[in-house]
Structure 1
Amino acid sequence: MKKQPLWTKDFLSISIISFFLFMGFYILLTTLPIYILDDLKGNESQVGAIVSVFLIAAVLCRPFTGKWIDQIGRKKTLLFSLTIFFLSSLLYLWTDSFLLLLALRFMHGIGFGMATTATGAIIADIVPNERKGEGLGYYALFMNLAMVIGPFAGLSMIQYTSFHWLFMLCTVLSLFALLLSLFVHIPECIVPTEKEEKSTFSFASFFEKNAISVSIVGGILAFAYSGILSFISVYAKELGLLEAASYFFVVYAAAILISRPFTGKWFDMYGENKIIYPSIILFAIGLVMLSQADTTLLFLSSGVIIGLGYGSLSPSLQTIAIKKSPASKRGLATSTYFTFFDSGIGIGSYALGVVAVYTSFSSLYIVLAGVVLLSFITYYFLHDKKSTKEKVIQTEAEMTI
């Protein structure tokens, strides 16, 4: 049987739109703290507020976005969200006070949360069912590339030019994303059944119940990963390896680039457990290595192992969340997964910062390795064991027919 094509015009277009979105996100994530401290004469607490308010806005809007995607359509939701994202990027050019910046970050977070939820749902519809793991893995790769290129481009620009031109770059990237979305053919929504449409304002109308179990696992892993996102540069400075910190995410992305062509295909061929369990173990090993790092080689090697582990986990869990849900609720499944994911990052960034005050970063990463191993058990009871039981019941039912 001939394989359904994966690298279509629409698949590439949505992946590139996602790349532009995350490029703008990572450029501002790494440079706005400097803008607040140097240009706006702010302080460290204001830097934390700017990061938090963006994430809060994204988390708050995701459940609503999932509902809108499935009810009013993917194309309309995507265009509306990218318009908000573009206007937000443009308004940075005239933001000259902390309060204005805070309000703008909330607006920008809404655009980002809506747009990334919409692109995730659309890509789930575009990718053929038998190549879901492979397709969503490659889609996630565009986000990983933005994670490496964005900070490098942003920090390089502010060394040689002004924030005005940095904000112009972000505006151009968001404009490209908006224009590209106009030419994408998006599959029509699968109409929900009468039973699925019954609840209008309830938990079930904002969260897809079939996606919650793996989303919880994703949230736990995101909590652990937030310890790397938030503190890797501080930890590197403490170790006297600050120069190596800039290459940590480069080797992390390189590991993902090398492994992604295989892990996605293996997911589709051998099942999710053959990817999830080894990846959790690799992530935990990488955190232990990071906790013991005292040389550049060990520090960067941990980035490779974490890339192989965590880099495979997030797209795989998202794929499971989508495959377990009805086709008419893929938007809701996507928003459910990212709501738990963003919450894990947000809670982790704050909670681990408090913990770091009372302990060393080395001890912190050991603890996080334990948290990752906890997700191993959580995944087994919330998904693996339950899925095995469902398959047994289904097989028995088929045998009695």
Structure 2
Amino acid sequence: MTIKEEEKLFNKGFITITIINFIVFLVYYCFVVITAKYATQSLGATTAQAGLAVGIYIIGTLLARLYVGKKLELFGRRAVLRYGALFYLITTAGYLVSTNIFILDSVRFLNGFCYGAVSTAANAIVTAYIPESKYGEGINYYGLSTSLAAAIGPFIGLLLLPILGFKAIIIIAVILAFVTMIACFGFKVENIVLTDEHRARINKFSLESFIELKVLFIAAIAFLIGIAYSSVLGFISIYADELHLVTAGAFFFVVYALVVTVTRPMSGKIFDKYGENAVMYPSFICLTIGLILLAVTQNAPVLLIAGAFVGLGYGTFMANGQAVTLKLVEQERIGVALSTYFIGLDLGLGVGPYLLGAIKGLLGTYQHIYIFCAVIPIIVAVLYMIFYHPNKKLKMNH
């Protein structure tokens, strides 16, 4: 009897791959918030060079999602997960020899590529351990690992950097990456058996072999939501400093994590019972409210309430967008479909800070940036209403 026939969500495979995903994302998000500071303070980089050191990671990740997403089932999920984790460990250790900005850029690019490979494999592997009737709930629990890492990683990075320094954080990250690699090599992964037709389709050099056209709209929506949320990742520490709310700024991510943890299972059950619209529209509204609150805040309580609404908005969207993606494709296309979705999301998070940084010159203040970003989810909701028509009876061929 297979795992899916047993209809048990919290099986060993599901729990293991969720923990692996959490640690991989935790290491990534920990470095996101401290790389620019390290580049400027320790390596004497300019602000522009530091920005490139942060952003080049996303370029590596996007290339991995494109290439690995296309070839995942051909290489085999098992091999991509294991060797991706091995090279993730090696490139994480590479930070220890990053004695100048050029080495740091190279390490960041390669580390981003390995991160993209491991997360693409993990996103596909987890689907084999979720019963079909619990897809929304399962993906939401799995997505919780990403959302928690996105909150805990920056908190740990900002907390430990002044106390321990950059090198100590690298050593902690290397230990975590080593544990992940051991787990990946010990974890049983079933590869998909491909037909000759699917092999030919994968090897064919075409847009469809890199991108799943069926999920292009939801990936575009993810791109816009990513830009809106990047205003938080990119500027919350500077903004909180301006408002003299540094401590509240750090705890913003803790509130975000707590809200996501409490609401994620609930949103998954709502998705399964009532369909995606029942969670997608509320997520757009909550993100807008959170960003408006950020724009008007003058004190810690309002800043933390903003964190709760941003968690309800972005945190809910991120996982349920993934569940929508899975709903739209057949099993052989899961790898390509998920990589397409995350390319949209990562691209939004990657280009957002640069785009918004340029707009700041026109708008003048961070308050205006947050008001500008609050409009994005409203536009997204309108586009979603016009162009996305869910078919609740669509079955996932698993």
Q: TM-score range by the shorter chain?
A: over 0.9
The amino acid of 2:372's aligned partner reads: V
Q: Which residue of 1 aligns with 2:379?
A: 374
Q: Which residue of 1 aligns with 2:156?
A: 153
Q: Which residue of 2 aligns with 1:253?
A: 257
Indicate whether 1:323 and 2:363 are aligned. Answer: no
Q: Which residue of 2 aligns with 1:365?
A: 370
Residue among 145, 153, 157 paired with 1:142: 145
Q: Which residue of 2 aligns with 1:399?
A: none
| 8 Å CA contact 2:5, 2:131 repeated in 1 | no
C-alpha distance after superposition, 1:301-331 (max 9, x if no partner): 1111111122111110111111211111111
CA distance in 2, matches of 1:218, 1:158: 31
1:219-258 aligned within 5 A: 219-258=223-262
The amino acid of 1:163's aligned partner reads: F
- More off after superposition, 54-63 vs 238-247: 238-247
CA distance in 2, matches of 1:35, 1:291: 28
Q: CA deviation at 1:18?
A: 1.0
CA distance in 2, matches of 1:144, 1:91: 26
Q: Which residue of 2 aligns with 1:19?
A: 22
Give the match's secondary structure for 2:194.
coil
Change (3 A) 1:236 1:157: closer
Change (3 A) 1:139 1:198: closer
Q: Which residue of 1 aligns with 2:299?
A: 295
CA distance in 2, matches of 1:187, 1:176: 21
Q: CA deviation at 1:278?
A: 1.4
Q: Which residue of 1 aligns with 2:128?
A: 125
Q: CA deviation at 1:190?
A: 4.6
Residue among 47, 50, 67 paired with 1:64: 67
Give the match's secondary structure for 1:182.
helix
- More off after superposition, 27-36 vs 186-195: 186-195
Change (3 A) 1:357 1:180: same
Give the match's secondary structure for 1:186.
coil
Indicate whether 1:113 and 2:134 are aligned. Answer: no
The amino acid of 2:326's aligned partner reads: I
Query: RMSD of the alignment, in Å?
Result: 2.1
| 8 Å CA contact 1:126, 1:187 repeated in 2 | no
Indicate whether 1:197 and 2:189 are aligned. Answer: no
CA distance in 2, matches of 1:261, 1:88: 34
- More off after superposition, 196-205 vs 325-334: 196-205
Instruction: State how many pairs are aligned.
Output: 390
Moved over 4 A (4+): none
Unaligned runs of 5+ in 2: none
CA distance in 1, matches of 2:25, 2:393: 38
- More off after superposition, 144-153 vs 315-324: 144-153
Q: Which residue of 1 aligns with 2:276?
A: 272
TM-score for the superposition, normalised by structure 2? 0.93
Residue among 26, 31, 35 paired with 1:28: 31
1:72-91 aligned within 5 A: 72-91=75-94
Change (3 A) 1:193 1:224: farther
Q: CA deviation at 1:144?
A: 2.1
CA distance in 1, matches of 2:144, 2:83: 25
Q: CA deviation at 1:6?
A: 1.0
Change (3 A) 1:357 1:3: farther
The amino acid of 2:49's aligned partner reads: Q
Q: CA deviation at 1:2?
A: 8.8
C-alpha distance after superposition, 1:278-317 (max 9, x if no partner): 1111111221222111221111111111111221111101
Change (3 A) 1:208 1:36: same
Aligned residues with identical type, % of pairs: 31
Q: CA deviation at 1:156?
A: 3.5
